[in-house]
Amino acid sequence: MAGTLSDNSDPLWHALPVEQLQEHFALDPLRGLDADAQRRAWARHGPNTLPEPAPKPLWRIFVRQFKSPLIYILFIAALLAVALGHHGDAGVILAVVLANALIGSFQEGRAERSMAALRKLATLRVRVLRDGAERVLEARELVPGDVMLLGAGDAVAADARLIDAAQLQAAEAALTGESVPVSKSVLPVPEATGLADRHCMLYSGTYITAGRARAVVVATGVHTEVGRIAGLTERAEEPKTPLELRLEQFGRALVAAALGLFALVLLLGLWRELPLSEVLMVAISQMVSMVPEGLPVAMTIALAVGMQRMAERGAIIRRLSAVETLGSTTVICSDKTGTLTRNEMTAVALWLPGGRELAVGGIGYAPEGRLSEGGKPLESVDENTRTLCLAAALCNDAQLLPPEDERVGWSVLGDPTEGALLVLARKAGLPLDTLRMTAPRESELPFDSDTKLMATRHRMDDAPRRVWIKGAPEAVLSLCAADGHAALQAARDAAETMATRALRVLAFATVDADELDPSAGFEALAGRARLLGLVGQIDPPREEVKLSVAECRAAGIRPIMVTGDHKLTGLAIARELGIARDEARAVDGHELERMGEGELRDALPHIAVFARVQPAQKLRIVEALQARGEVVAMTGDGVNDAPALARADAGVAMGVTGTEVAKNAAKIVISDDNFATIVGAVEEGRVVYGNLKKVILYLFATSMAALLVLLTALLAGYPLPLAAVQILWINIITEGTVTVNLVMEAPDGDEMRRHPIRRDDPLLGRDLLARVALMTPTIAAVTFGWFAWRLSLGLPEMLVRTETFTVLAMCCWFNVLNCQSATASALGPRLLRNRWLAIGLSLSIALQAAVLYVPAMNALFHTVPLPLESLLPLLALASLVLWVEEVRKLWVRRARGSAA
Ligand code: ATP
Distance 450 CA to ligand 1 centre (A): 10
Residue after which a domain boundary falls, among 671, 695, 718: 671
DSSP symbols for 584-615? -EEEEHHHHHHS-HHHHHHHGGGEEEEES--H
pLDDT at 423 over 90: yes
Same domain membership, residue 281 and residue 255? yes
* End-to-end Cα, the chain, rounded Å: 79
Assign residue 468 the CATH number of its domain: 3.40.1110.10
Place 499 in a pLDDT band, splitting at 50, 70 and 90: very high
Distance 512 CA to ligand 1 centre (A): 25
| Contact (Cβ atoms closer than 8 angstroms) between residue 732 and residue 724 | no
| Contact (Cβ atoms closer than 8 angstroms) between residue 309 and residue 327 | no
**Would residue 160 count as lying in a domain?**
yes
pLDDT score, position 324? 84
Same domain membership, residue 709 and residue 620? no
**Would residue 58 count as lying in a domain?**
no
Same domain membership, residue 159 and residue 26? yes
Q: Average model confidence (pLDDT) for the chain?
A: 87
What ranges in 369-505 are assigned the alpha helix state H?
Answer: 383-394, 416-427, 432-438, 473-477, 485-500
pLDDT score, position 5? 37
pLDDT at 781 over 50: yes
pLDDT score, position 575? 94
Same domain membership, residue 709 and residue 574? no
Global confidence as pTM? 0.79
Burial of 775 (0-12, 13-18, 19+ CB in 10 A): buried
Nearest CA to ligand 1 atom 17: 565
| Contact (Cβ atoms closer than 8 angstroms) between residue 467 and residue 455 | yes
Parallel, antiparallel or unpaired: strands 632-636 and 331-334 = parallel
Same domain membership, residue 496 and residue 612? no
283 lines ligand 1 (CB under 6 A): no
Burial of 483 (0-12, 13-18, 19+ CB in 10 A): exposed
Structural domain count, the chain: 4
List, in order, residues 6 or more apart from 332 with CB less than 8 Å away.
Answer: 552, 557, 558, 559, 560, 632, 633, 634, 635, 675, 678, 679, 682
| Contact (Cβ atoms closer than 8 angstroms) between residue 147 and residue 163 | yes
pLDDT score, position 535? 98
Among residues 369, 366, 365, 349, the alpha carbon closest in space to that of 357 is found at 349
Which residues on neighbouring strands pair with residue 160, listed in sequence order?
Answer: 202, 217
pLDDT at 805 over 90: yes
**Would residue 102 count as lying in a domain?**
no
Distance 630 CA to ligand 1 centre (A): 28
Q: Give the residue with greater pLDDT, 649 vs 482.
A: 649
CA-CA distance, 165 to 33, in Å (whole number)?
A: 20
**Would residue 96 count as lying in a domain?**
no
- ∠ at Cα 703 (818, 788), nearest 5°? 95
Residue after which a domain boundary falls, among 521, 538, 555: 538
Same domain membership, residue 652 and residue 787? no
pLDDT at 60 over 50: yes
**Residue 156: domain span:** 13-50+124-232
Assign residue 564 the CATH number of its domain: 3.40.50.1000
Place 122 in a pLDDT band, splitting at 50, 70 and 90: low
**Would residue 104 count as lying in a domain?**
no
pLDDT score, position 42? 92
Same domain membership, residue 766 and residue 733? yes
CA-CA distance, 306 to 310, in Å (whole number)?
A: 6
List, in order, residues 6 or more apart from 779 with CB less than 8 Å away.
Answer: 701, 702, 705, 808, 811, 812, 815, 881
Nearest CA to ligand 1 atom 30: 471
Tens digits of per-residue pLDDT, 675-729?
999 999 999 999 999 998 999 999 989 989 998 999 999 889 898 899 888 988 9
Max distance between CA atoms of the chain, in angstroms, equals 115
Same domain membership, residue 528 and residue 440? yes
pLDDT at 66 over 90: no
Place 4 in a pLDDT band, splitting at 50, 70 and 90: very low
**Would residue 676 count as lying in a domain?**
no
Same domain membership, residue 324 and residue 420? no
Among residues 288, 359, 121, 409, the alpha carbon closest in space to that of 730 is found at 288
pLDDT score, position 760? 82
471 lines ligand 1 (CB under 6 A): yes
| Contact (Cβ atoms closer than 8 angstroms) between residue 28 and residue 5 | no
pLDDT score, position 518? 64
pLDDT score, position 144? 93
CA-CA distance, 109 to 65, in Å (whole number)?
A: 12
Assign residue 812 the CATH number of its domain: 1.20.1110.10
pLDDT at 6 over 60: no
pLDDT score, position 114? 62
Distance 396 CA to ligand 1 centre (A): 13
CA-CA distance, 287 to 77, in Å (whole number)?
A: 11
pLDDT score, position 783? 97
pLDDT score, position 561? 96
pLDDT score, position 882? 96
Parallel, antiparallel or unpaired: strands 668-670 and 315-317 = antiparallel
Same domain membership, residue 469 and residue 386? yes
pLDDT at 602 over 50: yes
CA-CA distance, 678 to 6, in Å (whole number)?
A: 47
| Contact (Cβ atoms closer than 8 angstroms) between residue 642 and residue 449 | no
**Would residue 43 count as lying in a domain?**
yes
pLDDT at 427 over 90: yes
Of the residues 332, 335, 337, 343, which should be mutated to test ligand 1's pocket, given the most ligand atoms within 8 Å of the CB?
Answer: 337
Output the CA torsion 309→311→313→319 (10° steps): 90
Same domain membership, residue 862 and residue 717? yes
Place 524 in a pLDDT band, splitting at 50, 70 and 90: confident
Nearest CA to ligand 1 atom 29: 471
512 counts as catalytic: no
Output DSSP code: residue 7: G
Give the up-direction half-sphere exposure of residue 190: CA atoms within 13 A in the CB hemisphere. Answer: 3
Among residues 637, 641, 628, 754, the alpha carbon closest in space to that of 689 is found at 754
Nearest-atom index, ligand 1, CA of 335: 3
472 lines ligand 1 (CB under 6 A): yes
| Contact (Cβ atoms closer than 8 angstroms) between residue 208 and residue 169 | yes
Place 7 in a pLDDT band, splitting at 50, 70 and 90: very low
Distance 370 CA to ligand 1 centre (A): 25
pLDDT score, position 514? 63
Helix, strand and coil content of the chain, in percent to the nearest 5, comes to: 50, 15, 30
pLDDT at 237 over 70: no
Nearest-atom index, ligand 1, CA of 447: 28
Nearest-atom index, ligand 1, CA of 612: 14
Average pLDDT over residues 544-554: 94
pLDDT at 235 over 50: no
Q: Give the residue with greater pLDDT, 29 vs 476.
A: 476
CA-CA distance, 788 to 776, in Å (whole number)?
A: 18
Assign residue 175 the CATH number of its domain: 2.70.150.10
Residue after which a domain boundary falls, among 203, 232, 261: 232
| Contact (Cβ atoms closer than 8 angstroms) between residue 577 and residue 546 | yes
pLDDT score, position 357? 95
| Active-site choice (154, 159, 335, 673) | 335
Size of the chain, expressed as the number of residues it contains: 900
Burial of 598 (0-12, 13-18, 19+ CB in 10 A): exposed
**Would residue 755 count as lying in a domain?**
yes
Average pLDDT over residues 465-474: 93
Which residues on neighbouring strands pair with residue 210, listed in sequence order?
Answer: 169
Place 434 in a pLDDT band, splitting at 50, 70 and 90: confident
pLDDT score, position 661? 81
Tens digits of per-residue pLDDT, 835-882?
889 999 999 999 999 999 999 989 888 999 999 999 999 999 999 999
Burial of 249 (0-12, 13-18, 19+ CB in 10 A): exposed
DSSP symbols for 818-837? HTT-SSS-TTSTHHHH-HHH
Same domain membership, residue 283 and residue 366? no
Structural element, H or E, at residue 352: strand 346-352
Among residues 686, 642, 692, the alpha carbon closest in space to that of 819 is found at 692
